[in-house]
Amino acid sequence: MDRRTFLMGAAMVSASTIGLNCRLSAATLQSERWALKLVEAAKSQIGVTVIYDPAYVGLKFPNGDVPRDRGVCSDVVIRAYRDAFGFDLQEAVHKDMKANFSSYPTRWGLKRPDRNIDHRRVLNLAKFFERRGARLQVSDRGEDFLTGDIIEQVLPGNLPHMAIVSDQAAPGSNHPMVIHNIGGGTRLEDRLFTFELTGHFRFPPPGVEGA
């Protein structure tokens, strides 16, 4: 084997290894800096948020949050956008709901926005992302989900759920793991296709570099 052939082979092995560990596929290469930053902000919650707690809590406004050791699936998304970009979904959702209340889900029988809880409800976040033009087609192809994408799912009992698509592949698969809180705190898990997918969003915050 000549040196050129050896080097080419080594490069191919190296690229293959990187692809397995980092989802270095055509889809991942499209990931922008903002998406990687969002995922890192979500990962930073692992080991910090260790409790699933859906209790209603009065929050300050804007930038209100429940204690960091607890929360629900939507809090993973809210905190990631806030930590990564200073983008406050509490304020953004509240302002949009205040101006367009009839465009949002009526599942809870409310007659006006509630800035303590509206942004923490998956259906409201999904509607907000949709109204910002961030909705993508739902797919069963792992390569369609890029780093930093947001997914909406339905859990048993018709419970809405939300997660952030990570930059890491699920072992032995061609699809990424997700970062979410489904009951035991924020975790990185292979759950992209575990439950019915009802929404797929890609939302780079306005004005963010690399978006």
Q: Tell me: the pLDDT tens digits for 37-96? A: 999 999 999 999 999 999 999 999 999 999 999 999 999 999 999 999 999 999 999 999
The pLDDT score that the predictor gives to residue 21 is: 46
DSSP letter (8 states) at residue 140 = S
The pLDDT score that the predictor gives to residue 5 is: 44
| Number of independent structural domains in the chain | 1
| Within-domain flag for 47 | yes
Residue 141: is its pLDDT beyond 70?
yes
3-state secondary structure (DSSP) of residue 78: helix
The pLDDT score that the predictor gives to residue 117 is: 97
| Confidence grade of residue 206 (pLDDT, cut at 50, 70, 90) | confident
pLDDT digits (tens, 9 = 90+) for 175-202: 999 999 999 999 999 999 999 999 999 9
Averaged pLDDT, 130-136: 98
| Within-domain flag for 10 | no
CATH number of the domain to which 47 belongs = 3.90.1720.10
| Within-domain flag for 127 | yes
Averaged pLDDT, 129-140: 97
pLDDT digits (tens, 9 = 90+) for 162-177: 999 999 999 999 999 9
The two tokens of residue 144 are: 């369609």
pLDDT digits (tens, 9 = 90+) for 4-51: 544 444 444 344 334 444 444 444 444 589 999 999 999 999 999 999
| Within-domain flag for 206 | no
| Within-domain flag for 22 | no
For residue 79, what are the domain limits?
A: 27-201
The pLDDT score that the predictor gives to residue 31 is: 59
| Within-domain flag for 12 | no
Query: Among candidates 181, 199, 192, which has minimal Cα distance to 143?
Result: 192
Q: Among positive and negative, which fits the CA dihedral 13, 16, 20, 23? A: positive
| Within-domain flag for 21 | no
Query: Among candidates 188, 131, 122, 132, which has minimal Cα distance to 155?
Result: 122
